[in-house]
Amino acid sequence: MYLDCAVFENYRNIEHFPFSFDREINILYGKNAQGKTNVIEGIYLFGSGKSFRHAREKDLIKSDKNHSQISIAYVDAQRENKMSYRIFRDLSRETFKNGVKIGRMSNFIGNFKAVLFCPEHLSIVKNEPAERRGFLDSAISQFNRPYLSALMECKKLLEQRNALLKNYEKNKDSFALTAEILSEKLAADAAYITEVRAKYLTRLFALVDTYLRDMTGGRESIGFTYLSHIAGKETEELFDRAANLEKYRKLFQKDIQREILIGTTVSGSHKDDFEIRLGGMNAKIFASQGQQRSIALAMKLAEGEISKEESGEYPVFLLDDVLSELDRERKNYVLSELHGRQVIITTCDEADFAGISHAKKIYVENGNYTYI
């Protein structure tokens, strides 16, 4: 998949700019706070449907404007496609693919595929569980639509179930029946979500192992332990959706009195996590900073590889400010692995890329972009 053009209008500090990208390496460089990450963020909206910086939609609109629009043209194995993403100050949003309005976000995500790598991802080994879940969810959602739908439904069900738990006194008469219906639906979604995540991680870490050995020449084995309320000794146990469902059902029944007291759902796939293990030890505690970064890099490369296995073509790689954080050896490794794929890189230091002669270079200054 290749991103050929992206037209930004009134997005963050960009009033209007039509970008055209090379199908290999593109480098956006310039001083801090000029509008480099804004471009990556705008492109990745088409991959994940939201800002990777957790920004509110209204913050994406240029401060003196009423609406913002980004349009992209990309080619996949089938054809050239056009997509647009419009945001209005009243928080409404419109999305289009090839001129047709897309109603549901679950139909928008999964068309344009991208792997994002930003500085926060370098510490994925020790970040909060929510960030590791976020990694899984955005990676899997781009090629697995039923998973994305289950995630969205699960979020709604959780809100409803939590509201019910909080208002137990008011709803005493109907509580038992409503709780049972919501718990059953939630257990079904959670059983499926945990199954898909466990399978994805198993696949991912087989690739991470290869990348890591290649990158560092290390001989320590890399792996993960799935952390879930329903996890047993072996990850494979979680591949059995019917068994997962039974376990979640039991948990919801067991916990209900406690949940009424605290007014929230205590277990489910929304609490899943995974611990990364290097040489049999918890990497969060035992791996050095450099090792943790190498693991993060290997995870991103593996994410791209699985995306390719699923869709038949590589996604677009978006590297926001990460290469300058890596030592020469790791940087060269990443660049050689990404050779032949489309990469859009941001950096403050152009000198970082002095050795790359065939890159398209774009100088960034105060929301203005100049091809060099």
Q: DSSP label at 45? A: H
Applying CB under 6 A, among 7, 13, 249, 255 the residue interacting with ligand ATP is 13
- Determine if 69 is a binding residue for ligand ATP (CB under 6 A): no
Do 237 and 271 form a contact (C-beta atoms < 8 A)? no
Which of 63, 78, 257, 357 binds ligand ATP (CB under 6 A)? It is 63
Q: Assess contact for 33 and 69: CB atoms under 8 A.
A: no
Contacting range for ligand ATP; rule: CB under 6 A; set: 61-69, 211-219, 302-310, 335-343: 61-69
Could you give phi then psi for residue 295, rounded to 5 degrees? -60, -45
Does 33 engage in binding with ligand ATP (CB under 6 A)?
Answer: yes
Q: Which of 56, 219 has the CB closer to ligand ATP?
A: 56
Please tell me whether residue 62 binds ligand ATP under the rule CB under 6 A.
yes
Instruction: Convert residues 303-342 into a mask of x (bound to ligand ATP by CB under 6 A) and - (unbound).
Output: ------------------x---------------------
Tell me the C-alpha to C-alpha distance, in Å, between residue 216 and each of 59, 203, 205, 288, 309.
40, 21, 16, 13, 25
For residue 26, state whether it binds ligand ATP (rule: CB under 6 A). Answer: no
CA dihedral angle for residue 111, residue 198, residue 191, residue 234, rounded to 10 degrees: 170
* 11-70 residues near Mg ion, rule: CB under 5 A: 36-37
Check binding of 37 to ligand ATP (CB under 6 A). yes
Residue 141 beta carbon to ligand ATP: minimum distance, rounded to whole angstroms: 25
Three-class secondary structure of residue 149 per DSSP:
helix
**Footprint on residues 184-243 left by ligand ATP (CB under 6 A):** none
What are the two backbone dihedrals, phi and then psi, of residue 14, each rounded to the nearest 5 degrees? -100, 115
Out of ligand ATP, Mg ion, none, what residue 35 binds, judged by CB under 5 to 8 A for its kind, is ligand ATP
CA atoms within a 13 Å half-sphere pointing along the CA-CB vector of 281: 10
